[in-house]
Structure 1
């Protein structure tokens, strides 16, 4: 075999290794740089490890080029699986807008959507995944198609209000669009469930005989609120995180009930649930807000989007939780520019090094 043919084979093998690194291994390299924060005076075995992401926005049948759809889904799949393999969480929370066009799809298209989601975000049997609904999944309150809400609840196993107890930690997951403040069936049912959860937790706090649901007993701890919308705020001007919205977008005034919950809905939820922390998505940016509402003080975390379509540096959160404490670690995924630049540099290095080889080892 001539020397040039051997060099060509080496170049092809080298470029294959570059592609393997940039399309698979780089996610592990970046994700491994983040870690769970330890809780003081808590046995690590009693700590719940929660992986939280928001706004993957899987493209549907109407918008976006097929190549863009394939690329973003490949990236999110690789990143998601790398996080599970490296960090091994106990539970995964997805905070709404799973789909980008869920509100417009018919039943057949939505079924395909759900199958794609579970194929891309596959979890092993020992890890539980819980989702909350977003406006792109079923539409805003006043633009919701008939049956869209019930369809999502059935196929995604996600009712408007969910009360979960995991390692004696309480989570209340809500449908943000169900707190419009009117008397629609969805809103009435959601407020009824919130009142029931509130009554149970209040009784449990003072008398352990009430600490059970459907025959499952637990200990009391302040709950954590999970939803898609942020709680009431006028804009993102209060956000000072590095991944907060850029100016002047940060100062753009919110449309209440569209960009954030209303003050009335927020006051109602806080007075009933009395959360120790809240997590939401929707804005695609990061934000940390300290709330003090009716003697209840807590931090609210806005989780940035998990999709490269929505931001150049997607993020996720690793949250260590015990009944008395929690710690949040915000983690980044590789930037698209970093992946491209790495691929170019490594490819150029491979080609130059192989081509300048004088001889192939005998």
Structure 2
């Protein structure tokens, strides 16, 4: 009887450990395999970038899928925060999957869930850009939805942030349509004003009353990619698979227009651009006149959109930067690990029974 009780205890303890490992520890184990890229300058800014979490709303998706994906994202994000300790976090749009359809109370619930899952401790800062699933595409933005997102997520259409003398410009991709809608004209005025400030900081002799900050080329953050006709030139390991990679992009839906791209590059002269939206990775060089830079497409952070979600660690100084792309555990890996561990536990208990005889 005591032998049976001992084996039952070992079995229950083993199951508890397997659950704890597969639902908590595995995220720490995988996240620990990635590290901050190094720069010669020791005083770097540590930046975490994620994109497209797509939290399910009240209309689509099964409750179990909703619970499971949010659990995975919360455990993964908190593992990243614990091990990497970033100084600032950027979330590049599509925070919500159904934000454009929600009423006021549903949207408030959305925001509360987002901040619960992607909790950042003091003094870490978090900034977000708006995505089409948050407020709708340009021609489908419901009245007040853009203002609502800006109010609750503190995310205006154009936002200029300075951290350790590194400049970040966050843009609303849907406000770059180029027409005379209020959202677009407001964004255009803000870009023009910011462009003047950056130019005065770069060449103080051109301005009588220049801005009170040191100049460095900005990092551009938005949800959409810059103009491209497809992902055919994307060859990263997490790029879209063929033949999806060769699928033609829809103008102003899959990427911002050629005109909008030329405009913001001419006005802001970025040294790097980060975006999301495609759910896949991509690294593309850009050359616009005398402005050359790399554009990074950040893969989705959600297991609903990818079998292998990703995030980016970026080390920054005002004159240099380096990027590491990091993976999270595949859902299949978690399942296989649990099955193998359970089988191993059962085999050990059976061997104990044989040896006991």
Alignment TM-score > 0.5, same fold:
yes
Partners of 2:97 and 2:150 lie apart in 1 by 17
**Aligned counterpart in structure 2 of residue 163 of structure 1, from 153, 157, 160:** 160
Q: Which runs of 5+ in 2 are unaligned?
A: none
**Aligned counterpart in structure 2 of residue 200 of structure 1, from 172, 181, 197:** 197
Tell me: CA distance 1:330–1:302, structure 2 relative to 1, closer, same or farther (3 Å).
same
For residues 81-96 of structure 1, the aligned pairs below 5 Å read: 81-96=78-93
Partners of 1:221 and 1:298 lie apart in 2 by 14
In the other structure, the counterpart of 1:151 is 148
**Aligned counterpart in structure 1 of residue 345 of structure 2, from 319, 340, 350:** 350
Q: Which runs of 5+ in 1 are unaligned?
A: none
Partners of 1:64 and 1:231 lie apart in 2 by 30
The alignment status of 1:106 with 2:128, answered yes or no, reads: no
Please give the per-residue CA displacement for 1:153-209, whole angstroms capped at 9, x wherever unaligned.
Answer: 000000000000000000000000000010000000001000111100100012298
The alignment status of 1:130 with 2:142, answered yes or no, reads: no
In the other structure, the counterpart of 1:2 is 2
Residue 355 (structure 1) shift: 2.8
TM-score (norm 2): 0.97
In the other structure, the counterpart of 1:289 is 284
Please give the per-residue CA displacement for 1:96-140, whole angstroms capped at 9, x wherever unaligned.
Answer: 000000001011100100000001111001100000000000000
For residues 1-362 of structure 1, the aligned pairs below 5 Å read: 1-40=1-40, 42-43=41-42, 46-207=43-204, 212=211, 217-358=212-353
Residue 360 (structure 1) shift: 10
Q: Secondary structure at the match of 1:238?
A: coil
8 A contact 1:204–1:210 mirrored in 2: no
Partners of 1:8 and 1:266 lie apart in 2 by 64
Tell me: CA distance 1:137–1:10, structure 2 relative to 1, closer, same or farther (3 Å).
same
Partners of 2:114 and 2:192 lie apart in 1 by 32
Residue 211 (structure 1) shift: 5.8
TM-score (norm 1): 0.96
RMSD: 1.4
Residue 5 (structure 1) shift: 2.5
Please give the per-residue CA displacement for 1:269-308, whole angstroms capped at 9, x wherever unaligned.
Answer: 0000000000000000000000001221000000000000
How many residues align? The count is: 354
Please give the per-residue CA displacement for 1:241-268, whole angstroms capped at 9, x wherever unaligned.
Answer: 0100000000000001000000000000
Residue 352 (structure 1) shift: 1.4
Partners of 1:171 and 1:345 lie apart in 2 by 46
Q: Secondary structure at the match of 1:239?
A: coil
Q: Secondary structure at the match of 2:111?
A: helix
8 A contact 1:53–1:93 mirrored in 2: yes
8 A contact 1:3–1:360 mirrored in 2: no
Residue 210 (structure 1) shift: 5.4
